[in-house]
Amino acid sequence: MVKRVVTGAHYGLRDWLVQRLTAVVMLAFTVVAALRITGAESGYEGWKSVFEPAWMRVALFLFLLSVLYHAWIGVRDIYMDYIQPVSIRLTLHTLTVLALVAYAGWVFELVWSH
């Protein structure tokens, strides 16, 4: 039987680019956060002051979303390489997406509810 190889999903560049852009966001935030943390006093109040300003919350939220999207592409790449059966791959894709969406909800709750 002919095994038809299907390719051409047309999302290669977008994801590759997003993976790199999210990496830049993550890097930038890490630098800013590190600077602020080292400049802050130790203890609860110090930490709170680091993350108190609205712009810092936006940045943190962006950072965490970037982590999630970056992770999605990376994990999917691993599945592409190592998981060949389509059914298992689709199941893993679904579970991964569910987990990441759940994490996103949790992140929202963490950043904006306090």
Partner 1 sequence: MRFSVYRYNPDVDAKPYMQEYDIPLEPTDKMLLDALIRLKSHDDTLAFRRSCREGVCGSDAMNINGRNGLACITTVAELGGHVTLRPIPGLPVIRDLIVDMTQFFRAYHSVKPYVINNDPAPETERLQSPEDRLELDGLYECILCACCSTSCPSFWWNPDKFLGPAALLQSYRFIADSRDQATNERLDDLEDPYKLFRCHSIMNCVDVCPKGLNPTRAIGKIKDIMIKRMV
Q: Which residues bind partner 1 (CB under 8 A)?
A: 3, 5, 7-13, 15-17, 77, 80-82
Nearer to partner 1, 19 or 49 (CB): 19
Nearer to partner 1, 36 or 89 (CB): 89
CA atoms of 9 and 27, how far apart (whole Å): 30
Work out how close the CB of 67 gets to partner 1 at its nearest, in angstroms, rounded to a whole number: 19
CA atoms of 53 and 106, how far apart (whole Å): 20
How many C-beta neighbours within 10 Å does residue 69 have?
18
CB distance 84 to 75 below 8 Å: no
Work out how close the CB of 5 gets to partner 1 at its nearest, in angstroms, rounded to a whole number: 5
Work out how close the CB of 63 gets to partner 1 at its nearest, in angstroms, rounded to a whole number: 23
